[in-house]
Amino acid sequence: MTGPLVIKIGGSTLGAADSTYADIAALAIGDIPIVVHGGGAEASRWLDAMGIESRFEDGLRVTDEAALPVIVAVYAGLVNKRIVAAINEAGGMAAGLCGVDGCLVECDPSEPSLGFVGVPRSVHSEVIDALRSARIIPVIGPIGFVRKGDRVQLVNVNADTVAGAVASHVGASEAVFLTDVDGVRDGDGKVIAKLTVSDAEGLIESGVASGGMIPKLRACIATAELSVPARILDGRQPGALLDRHQRGTVVVSGT
């Protein structure tokens, strides 16, 4: 495929001591990539400082009424602008937005036990297309919206899921999920170079994949099923994005 590269980065753990932002700026000399970020560690710090407990189910953050304003402020504000500034400083030209801007990520409500959490149902990419046409790197924070009659509810959305949904919608050449591990490991702890969708599902069902790796694999599965290869890659390695085809674990639809 010849579509844009979609890159999902962790909003709090990558960029300080690696080449992630410089890599993104270098990639933008050619085709403009699309960046989606998380920021869970930063959100947890702010929630803790405000006396709000952080809770998770299957790697997904439970977002109740008290937590939602903090999540929105951290993801769409603080973390997003830090990443935009870092890419710009590295020589790129980036602009920040979240899934509410331009009605980018419209969602359905997730499991009620997760609270104000959404699952993408539609991606309206006009704002992404406009930025890329102007050779500006879109940097997307994982806040979406749910339509409820005549009003709109802001929701927290898992960043891996947002990246997968965006990649599928724009026909990405690849979706890369940067993390702080070498790749997906098997039951013996060895990094797996390539997985099919059924292989990835098996890792989840067997419990070999756990915690935050579950939503990453599920996002990879959803992306690969729409014929977009998805790669889980160690973003701590210098030049990881530039020589990504030699690293990490790729999930594909075929055998």
What share of the chain has pLDDT > 70, as a percent? 96
The residue range of the domain holding 92 is: 5-252
Q: At a CB cut-off of 8 Å and minimum separation 6, what does 82 contact?
A: 11
Distance CA 131, CA 115 (A): 32
Asked if residue 142 lies in contact with residue 158, where contact means CB atoms within 8 angstroms, the answer is: yes
3-class secondary-structure state, position 49: helix
Judge whether residue 50 has pLDDT over 60: yes
pTM above threshold 0.95: no
Distance CA 185, CA 197 (A): 15
What share of the chain has pLDDT > 90, as a percent? 64
Per-residue pLDDT tens digits for 59-110: 789 999 999 999 999 999 999 999 999 999 999 999 999 999 999 999 999 9
Per-residue pLDDT tens digits for 187-207: 888 889 999 999 999 999 998
Judge whether residue 48 has pLDDT over 60: yes
Judge whether residue 16 has pLDDT over 90: no
CATH number of the domain enclosing 77: 3.40.1160.10
Total domain count for the chain?
Answer: 1
- Encoded tokens for 203: 């890792």
Of 66-75, 84-93, 136-145, 240-249, the one with minimum mean pLDDT is 240-249
Asked if residue 115 lies in contact with residue 69, where contact means CB atoms within 8 angstroms, the answer is: no
- Which residue do the tokens 């009424």 mark? 65
